[in-house]
Structure 1
Amino acid sequence: MDLPSFDPDAEKLPKLSELPSIDGAPSNAAWFWGKHDQLGRLNLLTPRRIANAAKQIQTGKTVCLNFPAELPAPPFFGRQGFKHEIKAITDYAYDDLHTLNTQSGSQWDGFRHVGINHNDSFIWYNNTTRAQILSTEKLGIHHWAKKGIAGRGVLIDFYSYSKRSYDPFTARKITVEEIEACARACHVEFNYGDILVVRTGWSEAYKKLDADGRMKIGSKSNSELEFAGLSRGNSMLEFLHDNYFSAVASDSPAFESWPFDEPEHLHYYLLPRWGVPIGEMWDLDGLAELCQKTGRYTFFLASSPANVQGEGLSPYYKTVM
């Protein structure tokens, strides 16, 4: 398969409506970075952009963006919960053993997470097949770990902007127009390579639940769950594509609104078509508080995904400075 090639450090790249057709690829595929590419739009985190992003560090204050590993408890969608065991090695030395489903808490969705139906089969980012997912390390998240994720983060604190006008435990759809209005109110302009972070209010709402409330919501079936998140449709696809974010994230469990009730699921574009990592269930409340205090909604964001060969998702760990 011949793939178009573009310079990841360029400041003008094709819009969604201008994407060249790739023989054998699904429509709207943006496989720009070479036949053997493993990074997708993380390629946009070039040395120049990372160096510029470091200029965002002005106060030296840091914020952790991941929930404690044991939350949510119980996990959603029937997933296995986190387990921690302390193992005595001697009378004075101990090891810690962890068992977890990487989808059960704060995470990056890797490119192995979601494929799309194409030509009566399934295909993943950059023409990766089911056989390669099962028998090779192609698209493993260890490729991200070796590079690291570091760049300019941009917070869209829509929950505060909306004056907490909705329940995050409903399928509230945040539109492109609302995101752009929030950005203008916070004096934010998007740049190529930005890491887009959207606060829906889910992290705040979840932390307010008591144990019974967490058990009640965690025990719901997939069809009963509702979460606020990004809307779908062509305008959202154009917004996410044409701004050339290197990655996207939110505090909600699905990034886009749940349940999926429209055909243009964002996961099916961001991951297999464009190679955009998706962060989910990030704890954004401390970040929102710091941004409000400083009046700045851009920052340096660094993440070190788990260095596991062939891993499809990662629970580790986001830090903002």
Structure 2
Amino acid sequence: MTGSPGDDQNPMTPTGAGNGPAVSHRQFDALFEAVRTWGRWDPADRGAWNRVTPGHVQRATARVRSGTVVPLGLPWNTRSAPDNRGPALHHMTDLGDVEAPEPSVHKDFIAVDYHGKGVTHLDALCHIAYRGQLYGGWTAREAIDASGAHHGAVTALGPLVTKGVLLDLPAVRGSAWLEPGQAVHAEDIAAAEEALGVRIGDADAVLLRSGRFRRRAELGAWDADAASAGLHVDAVPLLAERGIALLGGDGDSDVRPSPVEGVHSPVHTLALAAMGVPLLDNLDLEALSAATAEAGRYEFLLVVAALNIPGGTGSPVNPVAVL
């Protein structure tokens, strides 16, 4: 969803329901060490995607029943808005109004600074460093230079096929959406599993729906860097214990404002730099919400394939769920 009437007229700065008690830097560092998986896998820069075996892929494909295919990527977002300060580029390079030998050829150009709130994208492990270190202990200063990333690049990941689990929090709570700033805690995940009849398991991809894009369509855009619904850090140990391979959502997984003193993206930090779990940001989960509700099941086959960008810190993507 690239915008809605009223985006420019309604640049709101919403407030949420609160994040719970603040987390000190010392407490966060202890949590980082508790969920850290450095040295567990080879190759290291695939991180938690190493969990996904051919057996996991076979079990995930066996979950397909109706064959309903649901794309999860936003349209290419070329509109400036409070949540898209750096719009993507798209312009035509060969048009249809010129004389040319048969057949005529038509071309276009695209470009994007995709890390942000306006483009559906995958974060590779090199996207975040904490205390100067990437996942596995490589120093960011040495591993990231003008030629790209030399550890944890998106090309190390390859495509992912695994079981996806939708945690549809508004559906569980009987609301249209979570308010920006509203935190999702470990007990909320457990309650969602029970209500939706799912259980997050080994090598799963967990997708959190907050209803962001339904709210945006009805009320207009806002600065999602300042306020967005998402996970509190106290939910991360549960996900680590379950052995997830991928985390994503219709936000960027982090509740904002951050509940952690001095750390602006603590869930990003724990997932990427400590656990080696890649992230999917800015998913459009509205159609998947409707499809899973109609099917009465919130587990599905998920396919994610990044662009082959040597040295890339991530990639724009259009993941696909198959029910």
Q: TM-score range by the shorter chain?
A: 0.7 to 0.9
Cα offset for 1:71? 6.3
Partner of 1:108: 122
Aligned ranges for residues 133-212 of structure 1 at < 5 Å? 133-134=144-145, 137-144=150-157, 147-164=158-175, 167-168=178-179, 170-209=180-219
* 1: CA distance, partners of 2:178 / 2:40: 40
Partner of 1:11: none
Paired amino acid for 1:138 = H
Cα offset for 1:114? 0.9
* 2: CA distance, partners of 1:87 / 1:309: 26
Percent identity for Structure 1 against Structure 2: 21
Partner of 1:15: none
1:273 counterpart = 2:271: no
* 1: CA distance, partners of 2:177 / 2:286: 16
Q: CA RMSD in A?
A: 2.1
Conservation of the 8 A alpha-carbon contact between 1:203 and 1:281:
no
Q: Report the secondary structure of 1:101's partner residue.
A: coil
Partner of 1:83: 89
* 1: CA distance, partners of 2:210 / 2:236: 19
Q: Deviations over 1:278-318 (max 9, x none)?
A: 11110001101111011010000001111100100211120
* 1: CA distance, partners of 2:134 / 2:290: 38
Conservation of the 8 A alpha-carbon contact between 1:166 and 1:172:
no
Counterparts in 2 of 1:166 and 1:316: CA distance versus 1, 3 Å: closer
Unaligned residue ranges in structure 1 (runs of 5+): 1-25
Q: Report the secondary structure of 2:273's partner residue.
A: coil
* 1: CA distance, partners of 2:294 / 2:181: 29
Conservation of the 8 A alpha-carbon contact between 2:63 and 2:300:
yes
Conservation of the 8 A alpha-carbon contact between 1:35 and 1:126:
no
Q: Report the secondary structure of 1:68's partner residue.
A: coil
Q: Report the secondary structure of 2:244's partner residue.
A: coil
Q: Deviations over 1:197-240 (max 9, x none)?
A: 1111112112334xxx33xx25x8x5xx211111223xx23112
* 2: CA distance, partners of 1:167 / 1:241: 24
* 1: CA distance, partners of 2:315 / 2:159: 12
Q: Deviations over 1:233-288 (max 9, x none)?
A: 3xx23112101110011111x31211113247111111011100111110001101
Cα offset for 1:56? 0.9
* 2: CA distance, partners of 1:172 / 1:188: 23
- The counterpart of 1:42, out of the listed 15, 36, 49, is 49
Cα offset for 1:72? 6.8
Partner of 1:256: 254
Conservation of the 8 A alpha-carbon contact between 1:64 and 1:319:
yes
* 2: CA distance, partners of 1:123 / 1:320: 33
Conservation of the 8 A alpha-carbon contact between 1:75 and 1:81:
no
Cα offset for 1:166? 5.7
Q: Deviations over 1:125-156 (max 9, x none)?
A: 11222211215532110122xx3111000011
Partner of 1:229: 230
* 2: CA distance, partners of 1:35 / 1:98: 35
* 1: CA distance, partners of 2:109 / 2:240: 40
**TM-score relative to the length of structure 1:** 0.80
Counterparts in 2 of 1:167 and 1:185: CA distance versus 1, 3 Å: closer
Aligned ranges for residues 240-251 of structure 1 at < 5 Å? 240-251=239-250
Conservation of the 8 A alpha-carbon contact between 2:129 and 2:269:
yes
Q: Report the secondary structure of 1:112's partner residue.
A: helix
- The counterpart of 2:111, out of the listed 96, 99, 109, is 99
* 2: CA distance, partners of 1:288 / 1:132: 39
Q: Deviations over 1:17-50 (max 9, x none)?
A: xxxxxxxxx7342124446522100011111111
* 1: CA distance, partners of 2:123 / 2:245: 13
* 1: CA distance, partners of 2:62 / 2:216: 33
Partner of 1:30: 37
Unaligned residue ranges in structure 2 (runs of 5+): 1-31
Conservation of the 8 A alpha-carbon contact between 2:168 and 2:192:
yes
Cα offset for 1:165? 6.7
